[in-house]
């Protein structure tokens, strides 16, 4: 997009409502990060293109030097207590890493700081785009920063997941943090206290890009006509690495938590619901969701509707990440702190947002945009 090789469709921040808004331009953004595997970004783009036909190989070829530059800025990540399915994807070097939790945080923070200095960035927005981690039962150690610090100092690994360490590193480096995955421990109350202490904003959890996006737009319609939803069942099929990780019961449970919490909130009662997620390797980066909604209308007559959503994972998620980064960057520059609740429409489980209704979440974003003058 910065080079004029691709259109800007699908990006909200390119909509006319943002005309004249002082958002970072695409040629001002520098990408870097951590990974626990060694695949190049060029190969990842080719893989997505091969799977779904969404990224032309000629485009990847024209961007070869940009991909190489990004790969030089991707350094080895950390994965203590990441769980079996994620650990087995990691390189032997990552698997052998015996650093303590505290020294892992320090290393990750230094990586972020040296990226910022080397690339002469005004600000760094840290986005968690790592594989979905298995859920952890939140306990006393996650409630206050003091208790969490004690657990980290005592190297109590079973109480943390890697994404929490990245979030900790971001907060202490003074960087805003976007939690795009459903991992439940990452922005626990203790971590939110840490962000508040450092005066940097955060938001999450779990990007809303597919079936849940449709659900949060559609469910209010039943309310607007006083049609009673009796049951809503959703079946999700996806390929790619995300789907592979979600095969694992505990990792899948994290995702189901964020996908299945909407309807009682929107409707005001709890219909029978079901969310299934199945890995279908042959789908690659494509995903399909089929939802069946059984509802009751006038005279108690029962009717139903179905929808089928065919998406491409990367094509749905990438623009959302860019939109969120640009908006969070501006909010940080303007001194906002705490949970950025006006970003609720981008997330399945928006922190600090009472409503799951996409329309109401959208109005909150519009109000924020208007307030920016």
Ligand X SMILES: NC(=O)c1ccc[n+]([C@@H]2O[C@H](COP(=O)([O-])OP(=O)(O)OC[C@H]3O[C@@H](n4cnc5c(N)ncnc54)[C@H](O)[C@@H]3O)[C@@H](O)[C@H]2O)c1
- Phi-psi category of residue 331: left, alpha or beta, with phi > 0 → left and psi -120 to 50 → alpha: alpha
Shortest distance, position 57 Cβ to ligand X, whole Å: 19
Residue among 44 and 267 whose Cβ is closer to ligand X: 44
To ligand X, the closest distance from the beta carbon of 184 in angstroms equals: 12
Which CB, 201 or 204, lies closer to ligand X? 204
24, 26, 32, 34 alpha-carbon torsion, rounded to 10°: 90
Q: How far is the CB of 82 from ligand X (least distance, A)?
A: 5
CB distance 219 to 270 below 8 Å: no
Which residue, 44 or 293, has its beta carbon nearer to ligand X? 44
Question: What are the distances in angstroms from CA 146 to CA 32, 117, 141, 201?
Answer: 31, 30, 8, 20
SS3 state of residue 260: coil
Interface with ligand X by CB under 6 A: which residues? 34-37, 77, 79, 82, 86, 89, 129-132, 162, 180-181, 206-207, 209, 240-242, 313, 316-317
Q: Is-contact 101 118, C-beta < 8 A? A: no
Q: Are 63 and 4 in contact (CB under 8 A)?
A: no
Instruction: Please say which residue, 89 or 253, places its beta carbon nearer to ligand X.
Output: 89
Facing residues of 295 across strands? 229, 303
Instruction: Work out how close the CB of 213 gets to ligand X at its nearest, in angstroms, rounded to a whole number.
Output: 9
Query: Minimal distance in Å, beta carbon 216 to ligand X?
Result: 13
Q: State in angstroms the smallest separation of the CB of 6 from ligand X.
A: 18
> Alpha-carbon distance 25 to 59, whole Å?
20
DSSP 71: H
| Cβ distance to ligand X smaller for residue 229 or 246 | 246
Q: From the centroid of its chain, how far is CA 285?
A: 16
User: Which stretch of DSSP H or E encloses residue 335?
Assistant: none
Closer to ligand X at the Cβ: 48 or 266? 48
- Looking at beta carbons only, is 240 or 248 nearer to ligand X? 240
Kindly state the smallest distance separating residue 105's Cβ from ligand X, in Å: 13
Nearer to ligand X, 190 or 316 (CB): 316
Strand segments (E) across the chain: 33-35, 74-76, 126-128, 177-179, 202-204, 228-238, 272-279, 286-296, 302-312
Residue 372 C-beta: closest distance to ligand X, Å: 26
Each residue of 309-345: b (16+ CB within 10 Å) or e?
bebbbbbbbbbbbbbbbbbbbbbbeeebeebbbbbbb
**C-beta of residue 27 within 8 angstroms of C-beta of residue 259:** no
Q: How far is the CB of 49 from ligand X (least distance, A)?
A: 14
CA distance 271 to 315: 32
For residue 200, the minimal CB distance to ligand X (Å) is: 20
Rank residues 49 and 207 by Cβ distance to ligand X and give the closer one: 207
**In terms of CB distance, is 101 or 229 closer to ligand X?**
101
């Amino acid at each position: 997009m910065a080079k004029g090789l691709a259109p800007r469709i699908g990006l909200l921040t390119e909509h006319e409502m943002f005309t004249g808004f002082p958002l970072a331009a695409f040629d001002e953004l520098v990408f870097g990060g951590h990974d626990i595997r060694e695949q190049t970004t060029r190969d990842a783009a080719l893989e997505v293109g091969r799977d779904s036909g969404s990224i032309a190989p000629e485009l990847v070829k024209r961007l070869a030097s940009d991909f190489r530059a990004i790969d030089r800025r991707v350094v080895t990540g950390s994965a203590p207590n990441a769980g079996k399915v994620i650990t087995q994807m990691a390189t032997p070097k990552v698997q052998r890493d015996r650093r303590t939790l505290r020294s892992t945080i320090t290393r990750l923070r230094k990586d972020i700081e040296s990226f910022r200095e080397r690339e002469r960035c005004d600000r760094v927005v840290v986005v968690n785009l790592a594989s979905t981690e298995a859920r952890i039962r939140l306990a006393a150690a996650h409630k206050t920063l003091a208790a969490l610090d004690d657990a980290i100092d005592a190297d109590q690994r079973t109480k943390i997941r890697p994404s929490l360490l990245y979030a900790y590193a971001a907060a202490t480096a003074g960087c805003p943090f976007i939690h795009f995955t459903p991992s439940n421990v990452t922005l626990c109350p203790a971590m939110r206290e840490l962000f508040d202490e450092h005066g940097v904003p955060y938001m999450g959890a779990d990007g809303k890009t597919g079936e849940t996006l449709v659900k949060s737009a559609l469910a209010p319609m039943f309310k607007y006509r006083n049609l009673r939803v009796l049951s809503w069942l959703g079946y999700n099929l996806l390929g790619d690495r995300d789907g592979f990780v979600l095969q694992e019961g505990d990792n899948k449970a994290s995702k189901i938590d964020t996908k299945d919490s909407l309807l009682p909130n929107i409707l005001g009662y709890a219909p029978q619901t079901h969310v299934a997620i199945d890995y279908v390797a042959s789908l690659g980066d494509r995903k399909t969701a089929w939802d069946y909604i059984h509802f009751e209308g006038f005279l108690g007559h029962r009717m139903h509707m179905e929808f089928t959503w065919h998406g491409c994972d990367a094509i749905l998620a990438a623009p959302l990440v860019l939109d969120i980064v640009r908006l969070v960057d501006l909010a940080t520059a303007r001194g906002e702190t705490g949970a950025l609740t006006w970003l609720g429409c981008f997330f399945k489980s928006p922190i600090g947002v009472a409503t799951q209704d996409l329309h109401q979440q959208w109005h909150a974003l519009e109000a924020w945009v208007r307030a920016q003058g």
